[in-house]
Amino acid sequence: MKDDLGLYYFPAPQHPEARMYVRRFAGRIEFRMWHQGDANVWEKHKWLPYDVIEQAAAMFKASGKESDPTSLYDLVVAERLLADE
């Protein structure tokens, strides 16, 4: 899907108030979160390249935390959206 901010998908379909925007920048795919109920999310969540997300996931895993930060960042969906653009 696309709006004034760019291409996006719903990272958690049960929560359509949250959107994950995607773009290609400097040859890599980047992600940025937006939330309808909290305008600060867009400002606080800058564009993140996928390799940074993978590094964060590795740190979470190493620390024993159960949450997986990569669950919201779908590289396959992002690639598809960008290819269809």
Give the chain's mean pLDDT: 91
Q: Categorize the per-residue pLDDT at 63 as very low, low, confident or very high, splitting at 50, 70 and 90.
A: confident
Rounded CA gap, 41 and 43, in Å?
Answer: 5
The better pLDDT of the pair 53, 64 is held by 53
Residue 61: pLDDT band by 50, 70, 90 thresholds? confident
Percent of the chain residues past pLDDT 70, beyond the cut: 98
Rounded distance, CA 11 to CA 18, Å? Answer: 7
- The whole-angstrom distance between residue 60's C-alpha and the CA centroid of its chain comes to 17
User: Distance between CA atoms of 62 and 84, rounded to whole angstroms?
Assistant: 36
The pLDDT of residue 50 is above 90: yes
Phi, psi dihedrals of residue 2, rounded to the nearest 5°: -145, 140
> Residue 56: what pLDDT?
82
Domain-by-domain residue ranges, the chain? 2-84
C-alpha–C-alpha distance, residues 85 and 73, integer Å:
19
